[in-house]
Structure 1
């Protein structure tokens, strides 16, 4: 029998047809999330689904902007899993303070903010007012494992 989500945040994810995955294993020398005071800082999260990247390549070339937007939302779900791994209950989140999204971009692609909206909008849908945050959307030449997107966040909790 499938275990029912216990937190309101996880129930909201379930309503959206999503569930928290296991925390992705680091691909280098770091941990997925660190607590400092009342904040959690996540490492950059790739859009792993069942341990694999659903797409690779540059946005604006091999990956279209809408696919990248959905992948950014997956990154945000993975970041929430990393937050849960260190605070135990996502209902403890009082605010997403900052989101940084990296978009592996074809040189002609300038729609990074629209791609990172995938993560921002998911956080707003799941956390309501606590999901409203400051943000950067950065175009980069390449990301680990040729991922199209990577998202990190800072969450405040009580």
Structure 2
């Protein structure tokens, strides 16, 4: 089943690629990999939540935000390679969680991104990953995710 078919089966649509908020491009190709810039959880150009996970945003809501980040990363990668069905797998995920100092659930938050990628790519969605707690993210986002995809 193609990625576009799997997206439709899950009731998901790729969003428009978010416009960069600084001096960078949304995705860059190197060899058979397309690396995305960090993707914030924009929905229709807006952040649905902001602040620190553990105080302003609970872990479950942050996991949903990470899922949105992954969907935005797919859109950025697909635009770079000429279509979502050219994406063949996931190589690496890096997730950043704006965390209050005692919050240690960053891996669970970034599971929102990893689980979506697994749902879409199956075994080819298995990836290496980092989940990092940080004091603040751009635009006071609670979560940011970058992904390296394989493509053909």
- The alignment status of 1:135 with 2:124, answered yes or no, reads no
Q: Tell me what 1:4 maps to.
A: none
- The alignment status of 1:62 with 2:62, answered yes or no, reads no
Q: Structure 1 residue 88: deviation in Å?
A: 1.3
1:1-158 maps to which residues of 2 (within 5 A)?
8-158=2-152
Q: Which string of whole-angstrom CA distances, capped at 9 and with x for unpartnered residues, describes residues 119-156 of structure 1?
A: 00000001111111000000000000000000001111
Distance 1:16 1:60 in 2: 29
Distance 1:11 1:20 in 2: 12
* Aligned-residue CA RMSD (Å): 1.1
- Answer yes or no: is the 8 Å Cα contact 1:47–1:150 preserved in 2: yes
- Answer yes or no: is the 8 Å Cα contact 1:93–1:130 preserved in 2: no
Unaligned regions of 5+ residues in structure 1, if any? Answer: 1-6
Secondary structure (helix, strand or coil) at the match of 2:101 reads: coil
Distance 2:95 2:57 in 1: 16
- Answer yes or no: is the 8 Å Cα contact 1:63–1:148 preserved in 2: yes
TM score, norm. by length of structure 1: 0.93
Secondary structure (helix, strand or coil) at the match of 1:60 reads: coil
Distance 2:85 2:26 in 1: 19
Distance 1:39 1:109 in 2: 33
Q: Which string of whole-angstrom CA distances, capped at 9 and with x for unpartnered residues, describes residues 85-119 of structure 1?
A: 11112222222100000000010100000000000
Distance 1:11 1:95 in 2: 15
